Amino acid sequence: MSGHGLLKGKKGVIFGALNDSSLAWKIAEAVHREGGQFILTNAPVAKRLGGLDELANKTGASIVWADATSDEDLTALFTEAKSLYGGIDFIVHSIGMGLNVRKNRPYDDLNYEWYKKTLDISAISLHRSIHWANETGALKDGGSVVALSYIGAQRTFSKYSEMGDAKALLESIVRSYGYRLGKRGIRLNTISQSPTKTTAGAGIAGFDAMYKFAERIAPLGNADAESCADYTVSLLSDLTRMVTMQTLFHDGGFSAMGISDELITDLAEVYS
């Protein structure tokens, strides 16, 4: 797809790109295509897990390693962003980690230290990021902040476990902080994305079943990472300047469905 200059002149920070299957990676490519400039950031541990240098070279981005649960790291990140750009117009938050999920601890027997870390990494990091972007003077009036969520914030998907709580908190932060940012014309939204085959998704037990279930129900099928990136661009652009505090479903219609003909047929065959 060729660009339309939707983000020409806009600068920002994109959190969470790890490899070319990451949502944040696809978003960075789309932002670059539309003329945006940005800093790429991820936790220092990601240095040995991904290939962020490749994405930086491809998009002309700078890399600033920062732990999104560290006030010191975030202060340094946004201080650098302000120094580099004079201020930023957007932030993309694509961060999530369920420690109990990854270690197969059931929801009714969570390790609470891991649980607190899950909430800190997956949700509170959004609050911290906005706070320090403001405190450093980096976030400009009229900007846009977008975070990635999942329908497990609002419905129970048993294998999603503690991450459902984390995404619910993330969406609540969007509403609470969005009201306050609105006084400066800054928008804050979440995109509730289809199950997507990413490194993070692969860490969830039963992910393949969740993916196939959604694919069978959604009229358009699961939304892929590239279409999510395009949708994100629209929310970072001035075309959505009056949209804020929303959880916006980008899931091929899954969120509006109960059951589909395809799933009824499948179940009839199983239980016949």
| Residues identified as active-site | 150, 160
Phi, psi of 118 (to 5 degrees): -60, -50
CA distance linking residue 122 with residue 139, whole number of Å? 21
Q: Judging by beta carbons within 10 Å of its beta carbon (0-12, 13-18, 19+), is residue 21 exposed, middle or buried? A: middle
Cα angle vertex 75, ends 175, 77, to 5°? 95
Q: Which of 202, 199, 172 is nearest to 188 (CA)?
A: 172
Sheet (strand 62-63) strand order: 62-63, 37-41, 11-15, 88-93, 139-149, 187-193, 247-250
Four-point Cα dihedral 24, 251, 178, 164, nearest 10: -90
User: What would the DSSP string read from start to end of 208-271?
Assistant: HHHHHHHHHHSTT-PPPHHHHHHHHHHHHSGGGTT--S-EEEESTTGGG-S--HHHHHHHHHHH
CA distance linking residue 36 with residue 59, whole number of Å? 9
